[in-house]
Amino acid sequence: MGTEYLSGGFLSNGSCAGGESNGKKMRKVVASHVLHSVRLDSLLVKRREEAEELVSFVYNQCIRNNVDSVINVRLVARRYCGNVIRKIMFSRRYFGEGKNSGGPGFQEEEHVESLFIVLNHIYSFILSDYIPWLRVLDLEGHERIVSDAMRTISKYHDPIIDERVRQWRCGKKKEAEDLLDAFISAKDENGKPWLSVPEIKAQCTELMVATVDNPSNAVEWAIAEMINQPDILKKATDEIDRVVGKERLVQESDIPHLNYVKACLREAFRIHPVAPFNVPHVSTCDASIAGYFIPKGSHILLSRQGLGRNPEVWEDPLKFKPERHINLADHHHQVELTEPELKFISFSRGRRGCMGVALGSEMTVMLLARLLHGFDWSVPSNEEKIDLAESKFDLFMAKPLHARAMPRLPAELYPA
């Protein structure tokens, strides 16, 4: 989850404003009612359905192109992330009426595109953040762009949320089946709803925004780097074959045993962070860190690139080398996507760190593992290697990754 899921309602255009106390309330609700382990376990079936659909989507593209197809990996990765969060949030993959299968339609593409527009501007520099009286001028045009994107997101979210709230209030809905139900049914110690409807809408949007970018970006970069280093790609697929075999598809229960696959993702997070800096934080008191005095109220930015590519910490920092994340001396060591020593940032750390680490990790590993297990990946026939250039405007790949995919498992394992 790339925006670290602040749970303060910062995307609600003021409807959820409430300062520090409101932020604490939001985090409490999310931690205790929404993203706890029992809730996530209950949504496993929904996540599994989207993992099946992911493989089916790529396989069908291969079949249409004589079992040797050039796949837009960015489209596949973002589509999967959008499908997963819509499924576990709203119990639906699509916004169109009666659509339960097939490829993404205009609504889904517009929805994900709007989420990424918001994400890009969350991370961007805005002068009026530091000179507030300039906000009315909207010099960079950011407020207009974000407002338009938020209206698009609300166009899809609000009718679903309003109808679900009505169902709970009139007694038609009594059991929580997804994250939206969890938000609506959350009660305080007096038995009253924790969140107002505007707060629920803000939290749904914030969780959506926090889910789509980090997994899709890390997996796109990881596959690109691995295709350019076939020995790494082979090590990862060999590990999956050894743990899972070729008689079934990889599942979330296999994740603890896929250390090399997770090491590849850690390396992607290290070299190719989703944004140059973390989301700005504000110091709540005077502090001294690493010899620097930080006054209370200071805006704190951590350089994701500066940490992950620091030559004083990482040997040959620009080389994609998953082995650096594996403890060869400890055969029981579990590789995790989080980085407790802050040598790079994947899901942030500390009290304001991402509460969706478990969900984000599962989505990221399953996305990469399913793509590696289900398909052989290689450079398109008209190219010598994958171009690893970064975009001039953000840290995504300059060009969406297009790679050849060929099914590598028995045909009966690919969902229809």
pLDDT in tens, 96-151: 654 444 556 788 889 999 999 998 887 777 778 778 888 888 878 888 899 999 99
Ramachandran category for residue 349: left, alpha or beta (phi over 0 → left; psi -120 to 50 → alpha): beta
**Domain-located, residue 14:** no
- Mean pLDDT across the chain: 86
Q: Give the pLDDT band of residue 333 (cuts 50, 70, 90).
A: confident
**Domain-located, residue 381:** yes
Number of structural domains found in the chain: 1
pLDDT in tens, 216-250: 999 999 999 999 999 999 999 999 999 999 999 99
Which of the two residues, 134 and 398, has the higher pLDDT score? Answer: 398
Which of the two residues, 58 and 298, has the higher pLDDT score? Answer: 58
* pLDDT of 13 higher than 50: no
Q: What is the pLDDT at residue 276?
A: 85
Mean pLDDT, residues 160-179: 94
Considering only CA atoms, which of 8, 93, 71, 104 is closest in space to residue 407? 71
Domain containing 44 equals: 19-413
**pTM: predicted TM-score of the whole model, two decimal places:** 0.89
Exposure on the CB side of residue 122, measured as CA atoms within 13 A: 27
**Domain-located, residue 219:** yes
CB 334 within 8 A of CB 259: yes
Q: Give the pLDDT band of residue 340 (cuts 50, 70, 90).
A: confident
Pick from 39-43, 171-175, 277-281, 294-298: least confident: 277-281
Pick from 9-13, 36-40, 158-162, 175-179: least confident: 9-13
Considering only CA atoms, which of 63, 109, 62 is closest in space to residue 403? 62
Considering only CA atoms, which of 324, 319, 326 is closest in space to residue 259? 326
Q: What is the pLDDT at residue 1?
A: 53
Q: What is the pLDDT at residue 5?
A: 43
Q: Could you give the CA distance from residue 316 to residue 351 in angstroms, rounded to a whole number?
A: 32
| CATH number for position 215 | 1.10.630.10
Pick from 2-6, 200-204, 254-258: least confident: 2-6
Q: Which amino acid is at 227?
A: I
**Domain-located, residue 10:** no
> Is 354 marked as binding a ligand?
yes
pLDDT-above-90 percentage for the chain:
56
Q: What is the pLDDT at residue 400?
A: 96
**Domain-located, residue 6:** no
Q: Which residues pair with 406 in a beta bridge?
A: 376
Q: Could you give the CA distance from residue 93 to residue 413 in angstroms, rounded to a whole number?
A: 22
Q: What is the pLDDT at residue 155?
A: 95
Q: What is the pLDDT at residue 57?
A: 93
**Domain-located, residue 345:** yes
**Domain-located, residue 377:** yes
Mean pLDDT, residues 276-303: 83
Mean pLDDT, residues 375-391: 94
Q: What is the pLDDT at residue 21?
A: 60
